[in-house]
Every structure is written in structure tokens, then in C-alpha cells.
Chain A
Amino acid sequence: MSLLPAWGEGLPPSQPLRVPSVLHLIGNTPMLEITTMTRGLSPRVRVFAKLEGFNPGGSVKDRPALCMVEEGLRSGVLLPGKTILDSTSGNTGIALAMVGAVLGYPVELVMPANVSIERKKIILAYGAKVTFSSEFEGSDGAIRLCRQILHDAPERYFKPDQYFNEANPSAHYRTTGPEIWQQTQGQVTHFLAGIGTGGTVMGTGRFLKERNPHVQVVAVEPDDAFHGLEGLKHMASSIVPGIYHEHELDRKIPVATEDAYETVYHLGKEEGVLVGQSSGAALWAALKVAREIDEGTIVTIFPDFGDKYLSTTLWRGWTDFHQRDRARRSAV
């Protein structure tokens, strides 16, 4: 039987057939059950991932970007003639560039020079201007340079300031949390998300805990300050975002870069899902939790798909992995 729905059938009611702009397609992302990589776990444990790559800008950041800009418009801080300015390691920049293009506001972004070439090109394609900060200083360097640009001409800009803007977690409180609650029919027991700004884990976690205080909210972070997990922050060694409140978490799970990369390779080969390194980290941590419990419904976030990372170091180890995997299979 074909899995393709017949025309006009099988589409979820939340998925409109016509929309007036791409911004209306943000959110309501599907949730995928991980079925192959969970073999050997207790049959009472289920693991799901929200596929945020289905957002029109290609990532989870569409949600906070739209929410922060809408809040700027509502409060009157973002006025015609102003330029949207922010620092980003990529996905928020793409999302702001898309939102700005639709609403007619110019966008300027400050990004570390070593972000992936795909991200740079996508942002430029949306018509945004990019200023590069030092590749030696990561996203903290971009934050500092962005503050300087704003300081020099504050009247020119509206800075959403994703690291300090409560509209960021609010977007997830209003959308991601309710979607997960509905998609699991209130059965979610554990929620895990990688931390970059902390917006996803904070906002979604707050909503889920309001519905069920027993839901465990877990942050996933790199295991060291020097890491290869694009989009994730090692909080102990970073400028801590104002929206990040560690006391609201039940737990943090550190993930090694190599473990996250290998999980990405497994996801492609075994689940047919090509994602970026932050999704690999999220699933590695989710599977760690899954192995510790006998019963539960674990939900994590896959922030985007993998096409933006094909040029990055994520795929440097792919050949070795493939050879090892082939040898392992032929030995069985």
C-alpha cells in the first residue's frame, strides 16, 4: 500500500492548503518515532524527534525569529526604516533574513567567519547583509561585535537579541510545547533539547512542566568548550544567555563531538533522516536516557536537516565510519 496520501486526504487539519506567506508555514512540524536505533530498548520506551527542518527557513529558529520580530512590531520598537540586526551562528540569521524579506525590513547579521558556506549563501540569497566576526572567537565574538555595531548607531537598528529576549523562549512556550503535548497525547515523560541560546529547552520545558510537573526537562550540551557541535553552546565557558535559567532544568547531558557525529551517520543509514550535528547530539542524549529507564516517552528536537552541513567537518569522518560499518556487518 502506498504511503502517499491521496489528493485531499491524509493531510493533517493544521496543514493549510494555501497560505498568504511562508511565515504561515512556521511550526506544526511533524514528530518522527525513532524505530531502528531504539532496538534493544525496553518495549515500553519510545523515542520521538520533532523534525524542525520542516519549517520554511529550514530550522527551529523560524519560531523565535518570527516571535521576536512580531513582539518588536507590537511594542513599537521595530518601526519602518529600521534594520533588523543580530548576531548568530547561522540558523537564527537565516530565519531573521527570511522574516525580514517577507515583512520588508532590511536585515544585517554578525556571524563568525567560520560558519558553513551553505549558511552564508542562504542568508545572502534572502537579501540580508552579513558582517563576519573573528573565527577564533566563535559566537561570543559575534555577540560582542554586534553590540559594538548597535552601540555606534542605536537609532538605525532593531536588535531582537535572541540571547536575552524573552520572546525567544515564549515562541516555544506558545508553539513547540503545545505541539509536543498534543502529538504525544500528553504522554511525554522526558524532553531533551540542545542549548545554543537555551530558548527551546526553556520555553518548551516550561509549558510541559505546567501540564505535568513530572516531565523531566534535559539540556544537551557539548562536553567541552572546544567542540564541533554547530549551534550548541558549552555554557560554563560562554557568555551565558539571559534567557537561560539552569535551575529550571532537571539535568544536563554532555555529548562528545565524535559521538554526535556518529549518531548523525547512523540516522542517515538506519532511519533515513539526514540531519546536522546538533540533532546527532540530541539523539545521542535521548538514547542515553532511553537506556536508563524501563518505561517512558522521550521527545527531543532535531533543529534542522543536514543539507547545510555537507561542506563541514561533520562528514570528514564519514568514510572511516562507512568502512567500519561495512566490516562490522560482514563479520555478523
Chain B
Amino acid sequence: MSVRVRVPTPLRRFTGGAEEVSVAGTTIATLVEDLEKNHPGIKERICDDEGKIRRFVNIFVNGDDIRFLDNLETAIKDGDEVSIVPAIAGG
């Protein structure tokens, strides 16, 4: 099973420049682990030391913010689109 993950520009250095990657997982938490396995270094940009999503990072599943779903335990299924979006626009 795989889902598509859209990656913002500042994190593309971990994905070899790819805007979108395919990742395995049944929840956002397992998806983040699989992202890290395939693209080492990306997890600590997304999660803090306690493993929580950093507060300036938004993750959407099919357009819905996981903070309004089940956070890291939000279930994902084959064909879903997950987006990682910095909450701010930069300088």
C-alpha cells in the first residue's frame, strides 16, 4: 500500500529534489517513519524531540488538517494524498 506525499521546497533536499514521493504506512506516524527510512533527516524537520509534529508544520490528508482528525494516529489508505505544508510563507 502506498500514498502520495507532496513535499514543500525546503524539504526537497531530502527527497533528491522530488516534489512528490510514494510512501508506505497506515497512519501518519508510520508514514513519517517510512519517510525517514527512505529520506534520512526529514523526520527531525517535521517532528520535535518528543516525536510530535512541530507547531509550524501542517500535514493534510486529502486536504484535511490532521490536527482536526487524529493527529499522528490519523489513518491513511491506499491512494490518499498527504501534503506537508510549512505554516508560514517565508521571507
Interface size for B (C-beta < 8 A) is: 23
16 pairs, CB–CB < 8 Å, chain A vs chain B? A89-B88, A90-B89, A114-B89, A116-B88, A135-B8, A136-B6, A136-B83, A138-B86, A141-B9, A224-B45, A228-B57, A228-B88, A257-B54, A312-B88, A313-B88, A316-B55
Q: What residue in chain B is nearest A317 (Cβ atoms)?
A: B55
Q: What residue in chain A is nearest B60 (Cβ atoms)?
A: A135
Residue from the list A114, A224, A234 in contact with B87, Cβ < 8 A: A114
B88 touches A229 (CB 8 A): yes
**Considering the chains assembled together, what is the distance between the CA atoms of A111 and B91 in angstroms?**
11
**Considering the chains assembled together, what is the distance between the CA atoms of A112 and B89 in angstroms?**
6
Given contacts A226-B45, A227-B86, contact A313 B55 (CB under 8 A): yes
A249-272 interface (Cβ within 8 A of B): 257-258, 261
B11 touches A226 (CB 8 A): yes
Contacts of B83 in A (CB 8 A): 136
Q: CB of B13 within 8 A of chain A?
A: yes
Q: CB of B56 within 8 A of chain A?
A: yes
Q: CB of A196 within 8 A of chain B?
A: yes
Q: CB of A323 within 8 A of chain B?
A: no
B55 touches A261 (CB 8 A): yes
Interface size for A (C-beta < 8 A) is: 40
Contacts of A232 in B (CB 8 A): 90-91
**Considering the chains assembled together, what is the distance between the CA atoms of A313 and B58 in angstroms?**
9
Contacts of A230 in B (CB 8 A): 88-90
Q: CB of B64 within 8 A of chain A?
A: no
B89 touches A225 (CB 8 A): no
Give the top 7 A-B pairs by smallest Cβ distance, nearest first: A228-B56, A196-B91, A233-B91, A138-B90, A225-B10, A112-B89, A226-B10
Given contacts A226-B8, A228-B86, contact A89 B91 (CB under 8 A): yes
Residue from the list B9, B54, B91 in contact with A228, Cβ < 8 A: B54
Q: What residue in chain B is nearest A111 (Cβ atoms)?
A: B89
A-side residues, CB < 8 A to B, are 89-90, 111-112, 114-116, 135-142, 194-197, 224-234, 237-238, 257-258, 261, 277, 312-313, 316-317
Q: What residue in chain A is nearest B9 (Cβ atoms)?
A: A137
Interface residues as binary, B71-91 with A (CB distance below 8 Å gives 1, 0 otherwise):
000000000000101111111
Most chain A CB within 10 A, of B9, B11, B45, B90, is at: B90
Most chain A CB within 10 A, of B7, B85, B89, is at: B89
A231 touches B91 (CB 8 A): yes
A136 touches B85 (CB 8 A): yes
Q: CB of B70 within 8 A of chain A?
A: no
**Considering the chains assembled together, what is the distance between the CA atoms of A150 and B68 in angstroms?**
39
B91 touches A197 (CB 8 A): yes
Contacts of A233 in B (CB 8 A): 90-91
